[in-house]
Structure 1
Amino acid sequence: MSKLKYFLIAGLLRIAGSLPLGLAQFIGKWAGLMAWHLNGRSRKTTDVNLKICLPELSAEEQYQLSKESMAHTGMTALEIPLMWEWPVEKCFGLIRETRGLELVDNALASGKGLILLAPHLGNWELTGLFFSSRYKMAALYSPPHIKEFEDYMIRVRGRLGSELVRGDRKGLLRLMNILKEGGVAGILPDQSPRGKTNVYAPFFGMEVRTMTLVNKLIQKTGANTLVAFAERLPDGKGFRIVVEEPVPGNGDADPVVAATALNQSVEKVVRMAPAQYQWEYKRLRHRPPGNPNPYYPHKICR
């Protein structure tokens, strides 16, 4: 059954990957808006997240941002097959502007490695592809549920030499070695971590489970840290690669202070393009024990 699912998904990806950017974004946008109007789980999660994370917005502003967010999520979903199936030169042709690349060059010129934080903002697949074309890079990933799909994912994401490593002990040791050699490690910093390598720290004001991996890598290797994303330009004009300094404190000896700085670093770039963040992800579901789950208020976190 898993092989059948793989061939079905791979076939759909190849079909979607044959689309031009404008058409893919058009289909994705209207699919996202349709999902928003149907008021299903994704819409409900988006609305909860916006209400908690951006309380300074009026009810009308949150309403409009919810709609825009799901439209952008739909566009991202249809763009990812392009990043996986298009020739890399064609993907890079979508990058119209860059901002802050000198920060990367300066960080690597120090002789230390660089941890590149790439939140689920804009098109993160294009972000990874762009930086893997310029630097010796390894990226952390979680294996997909369909085993056969893992080889495909590794092949398309690593076609410019980027090394994909699993989030296990062996993979983390490999990340450390890459950083000690002066390379780049790409990490998605805004996922709710599993296992014991986490602490509770505020994310947009709410205490949630947060990874300590970035802090541990800095402590072990002395690596620098930056935040990057590929911002979607309006009217199908392509993307802008943006690199920003993180909020100070990611390498602090106190893991809670470091995790707070990590979350604030994500917040910093999300506020630059809030409609392009993946608000339908249940980032706030893991809270300190005894607190209600914001998505299911009748359930208590343990």
Structure 2
Amino acid sequence: MLIRLGVLVFWLIRFLPFRAIVAIGNGLGRLAYLLAAERRRVGMINLQLCFPDMTDSARESLLRRHFMMFMRGLAERSVLWWSSAGRINSLIRIEGIEHFEAMRGQPLILLTPHFVGMDAGGQWVAQQSDTVCMYARQKSGYLTRLLLDKRSRFGSQRLYARQEGLRPIIRGMRENLPFIYPPDQDQGIKDGAHIPFFGVPAATMTSVSRIAQMTGAKVVPSITRLLPGGEGYVLNFYPAWEDFPSGDDIADARRMNAFIEDRVREMPEQYFWLHKRFKTRPEGEAKFY
């Protein structure tokens, strides 16, 4: 009942001006920073690991800004989930669209790391092309169904649970559907390895290069930035990676993590610091969380 009530509130706030929704998100972020002690602890540990030279006060300020950005992104999903395509598109400026357009009609991996604006970019892409992507099942069946419905509201998107593996993804890519892939969370090392992320070994998927090898896909990074106030978003497509895959999955994963690090340094408050990115430790190494 509480989840359904929250969804109703989200549905209602989409009628507000976008600047008002931004203000609501910022306010919720300030509140969440105070109340979400466990997520605050995880975020601080991540920042200590990734920015060891930063002062404690600077890390605290960064984490406060991140909570505001995170909750703002959450509040703005009211627009992404229920507003018209016209309203959504009016909020998104596209940069580097030629890198996306050049890959139409051929296998493509849209590398989409976990920045808080990723859902806005995903909704724009879904209006341009049917895609394939994975999703994580939520504890609430109602919430899982809602997420699937809203992420597939444009076009004919194919969403598969992580438990279904890569086979349906590969089938879709061989039909030249872009694969939206966020590979930068800790999923263990069954299909990955410990690769440095900001100098700290992090369980990292090595599947990007393997998928590219199997399908002949190009990799085009896609990053969405939240703009100040009510200005909306910038969705930036980067040039397709040359010499990828290289034949060395570990080297390719290092390249991927280094690219993500560079983007994090550009807007550190917008990266998803509340995830236990360093949960899976190398054998014999103490846990961080």
TM-score between both structures, scaled by the size of structure 1: 0.86
- Of residues 202, 206, 209, the one that matches 1:212 is 206
Alignment-derived partner of residue 84 in structure 1: 81
The alpha-carbon deviation at position 75 of structure 1 amounts to 0.8
Mean CA deviation greater in 242-251 or 215-224: 242-251
Contact 1:249 1:258 in 2 (8 A): no
Alignment pair present for 1:14 and 2:11: yes
1:62-110 deviation per Cα after TM superposition (whole angstroms, max 9, x unaligned): 2322221111112112112221121222111111x221111112233xx
Alignment-derived partner of residue 47 in structure 2: 50
Alignment-derived partner of residue 101 in structure 2: 105
Mean CA deviation greater in 245-254 or 138-147: 245-254
Letter in 2 for 1:79: E
- For residues 1-150 of structure 1, what are the structure 2 equivalents within 5 Å? 4=1, 7-37=4-34, 40-95=37-92, 97-108=93-104, 112-150=106-144
Alignment-derived partner of residue 299 in structure 1: none
Gaps of 5+ in 2: none
Mean CA deviation greater in 204-213 or 174-183: 174-183
- Of residues 174, 179, 183, the one that matches 1:180 is 174
The alpha-carbon deviation at position 216 of structure 1 amounts to 2.0
**Secondary structure, aligned partner of 1:291:** coil
Q: Closer, same or farther in 2 for the Cα pair 1:149/1:68, shift >3 Å?
A: closer
Contact 2:218 2:240 in 1 (8 A): no
Q: Closer, same or farther in 2 for the Cα pair 1:195/1:52, shift >3 Å?
A: closer
1:217-263 deviation per Cα after TM superposition (whole angstroms, max 9, x unaligned): 11211101121122111121111111224776752333322222222
Q: Closer, same or farther in 2 for the Cα pair 1:269/1:246, shift >3 Å?
A: farther
**Secondary structure, aligned partner of 1:23:** helix
Rounded to whole Å, the distance in 1 between the matches of 2:38 and 2:243 is 35
The alpha-carbon deviation at position 38 of structure 1 amounts to 5.1
Rounded to whole Å, the distance in 2 between the matches of 1:151 and 1:266 is 30
1:92-131 deviation per Cα after TM superposition (whole angstroms, max 9, x unaligned): 1111x221111112233xx631101112213111111111
Contact 1:16 1:81 in 2 (8 A): yes
Identity %: 25
Q: Closer, same or farther in 2 for the Cα pair 1:123/1:218, shift >3 Å?
A: same
**Secondary structure, aligned partner of 1:284:** coil
Contact 2:42 2:275 in 1 (8 A): yes
The alpha-carbon deviation at position 195 of structure 1 amounts to 7.2
Contact 1:69 1:276 in 2 (8 A): yes
Rounded to whole Å, the distance in 1 between the matches of 2:216 and 2:254 is 19
The alpha-carbon deviation at position 214 of structure 1 amounts to 1.6
Alignment-derived partner of residue 268 in structure 2: 274
Number of equivalenced pairs: 288
Rounded to whole Å, the distance in 1 between the matches of 2:146 and 2:245 is 35
Q: Closer, same or farther in 2 for the Cα pair 1:233/1:140, shift >3 Å?
A: same
Rounded to whole Å, the distance in 2 between the matches of 1:5 and 1:192 is 29
1:113-160 deviation per Cα after TM superposition (whole angstroms, max 9, x unaligned): 110111221311111111111123112112222123333222211111
**Secondary structure, aligned partner of 1:165:** strand
Aligned alpha-carbon RMSD (Å) = 2.3
Rounded to whole Å, the distance in 2 between the matches of 1:187 and 1:7 is 29
Contact 1:114 1:225 in 2 (8 A): yes
The alpha-carbon deviation at position 37 of structure 1 amounts to 4.2
Alignment pair present for 1:288 and 2:285: no
The alpha-carbon deviation at position 178 of structure 1 amounts to 2.5
Rounded to whole Å, the distance in 2 between the matches of 1:149 and 1:37 is 25
